[in-house]
Amino acid sequence: MILHILITLLTIIIQVLAKNSTYQNPILPGFHPDPSCIFVPSKNNTYFCASSSFLVFPGIPIHASHDLQTFQLVSNALNRPEQLPALGTTKRATSGIWASTIRYREDEDVFYVFTTMVFDDLPKEDGGRFDCLVFRSRDPFDDSSWGVPTHFGFPGYDVSPYWEENGRLFVVGTYAWQVQQGIQIFELDLGTGEMGEARSLWNGTGGSAPEGPHVYKKDGWYYLLIAEGGTGAGHMVTMARARSLLGPYEGYEHNPVLTNGGPQAYFQNIGHADLFQDRRGEWWAVALSVRFGPDGSYPMGRETILTPVSWEENEWQVFGKVFGTMSGWEFDSESVVEQGMGLVVDADFFSCFENGYVLGPEFVYFRFPVEGNYGVSKEGHENSVQLISSKSNLTGSDGRSAEKEGQTFLARRQVHSYFDFKVDFDIDEMKNEEQEAGVSVFLDQLHHYDLGIVLLSNSTANSSELVPHFRVRGITTVPTFASPTLAVVRVPQDWRGQKLSLGITASNLTHYALSAAPVGNEAERIVIGWGNGLGLTWGFTGALLGAYATSNGREEGFSAYVSNWSYVGKEQVVGS
């Protein structure tokens, strides 16, 4: 006990005295849960991180950094429908790509991402609920380098590889709802996908859902890191160790090694960690966390945080407590990754979609996009993206299922507490009732707020005339199911026939303002309605901001054109 206290004090002192080591959490803000990171010296001293993506496509974003402070999106491991066709058919927003572990084999010069495609609408005891996968790449800076994955038949999730010195590959994974089995280990032949017999390693400390395992070897010990307590308020990181890879494993008497910093802490639900060393040999941990608003909301979902770890010879790890502004081991000098396909994770963004523009890897869809529904700078509509409407709106037929003809929605992640998002719309081709184009702050099909320009019958005259209206609609299950129309406002007469700018702004920590203005006249912008962030606080994902087009169930389709897409981050709130 005394030794544990001394190590903890030493860690705090080192953090205080470390040079050039102040940084800000989260390092990957917004929808970037279940992080896994590695350091690869042979790739220009670069850190690589992978995170979960669920039903968002492209999936498994890969971020890279030289300094653990500035992270750039360099590729998405899942970037082509043929890699995993089932992603386009699944039900429930909690389905899709769960936790991914990234590792690199120097002798092969290959990056590996181990992950699981989960069909969360199937019964938990159904072995078909899980499809475990391995993606490979020799160049993680290029989407096309990630191939079609190898599948293997482990009936669980959160799979993570461990290679012994002789090259034998073992995989640890999770049966979270079967505590008597807990964390499993088995040998895997990557060439054939053949598994050896699985055996139990450890059931954790008694918390619910023992999951998220990783194995590390140091000083002759095998250390097993796991998550327990579910991904909510009881989330925590616990450790066990053994002299043999196959056990028996003994839990650390001072577990948990990392958890929430108390009920008043701004960063909550901390867990699902991974460990890695930097170029100086110092240890770090990444984990997921959420940032609680004053009403308990966290619409950005589970984000990636970083904390230093002290790991003395033959001793247990001591994790630094998580705050918004942190001090840790000394960083390398700041240097932006020059390779890769995307931008720095929290960069502002503006595009007029000039001719030849290619939608970058930050643009995402919910499940697979319908080919041809998103065209850049079509003839007669230069400097815009064509959105060909889907019959389905963003909720769809039941709020959970894949729509056969898709859902036209182009989005990017919210990555700031306070932000301003705007996009211009040309709706001249809308001719029929209930045709609608607009913007949405979207978590999933059952949790989103939309501001649409929609054609509705003239409600004040005995006429069949269709009049453009602004309409705000929301759907949520928090705290109970609700699907209200929040506002319907006629587009002002002198705005009609013009391009219209729709916007979503977060200027406080509890609500989104949904607004409209004629393009070129910001002084006339009006707030049409509000979306409650608590209504987007659900499940495993985080808020997306984007543009949609739908005929709301009608057969007649149309095209809307969006231009001048703008996202400006105003502030990152990280607590006191």
DSSP of 104-172:
EETTTTEEEEEEEEE-TTS-TT-GGGEEEEEEEES-TT-GGGS-PPEEE--SSEEEEEEE-TTS-EEEE
- Please classify residue 500 by burial: count the beta carbons closer than 10 Å to its beta carbon, then call 0-12 exposed, 13-18 middle and 19+ buried: buried
Q: Which of 67, 131, 143, 211 is catalytic?
A: 211
How many angstroms separate the Cα of 219 from the Cα of each of 294, 374, 516? 45, 54, 61
Which residues, including other chains, have CB under 8 Å from residue 423's CB and lie 6 or more apart?
A: 439, 501, 502, 503, 547, 562, 563, 564, 565, 566
Distance CA 274, CA 242 (A): 18
* Strands (E) located in 164-235: 169-174, 183-189, 194-195, 199-202, 211-218, 221-228
Helix runs in 379-450, H state only: none
The secondary structure element, H or E, covering residue 7 is helix 2-17
User: Tokens at residue 132, please?
Assistant: 């475990």
Distance CA 203, CA 175 (A): 10
Active site residue 346: no
Distance CA 540, CA 155 (A): 21
Active site residue 211: yes
| Residue 482 DSSP code | B
Distance CA 105, CA 414 (A): 33
How distant is the alpha carbon of residue 314 from its chain centre?
36
Q: Which of 44, 73, 39, 68 is nearest to 56 (CA)?
A: 73
User: Is residue 180 within 8 Å of 203, Cβ to Cβ?
Assistant: yes
User: Tokens at residue 59, please?
Assistant: 């999936």
> Is the Cα torsion angle 548, 551, 555, 561 positive or negative in sign?
negative
For residue 256, whether the previous peptide bond is cis, meaning omega lies within 30 degrees of 0, is yes
Which residues, including other chains, have CB under 8 Å from residue 574's CB and lie 6 or more apart?
A: 24, 25, 266, 291, 323, 324, 325
3-state secondary structure at position 539: coil
Residues with a known catalytic role: 34, 211
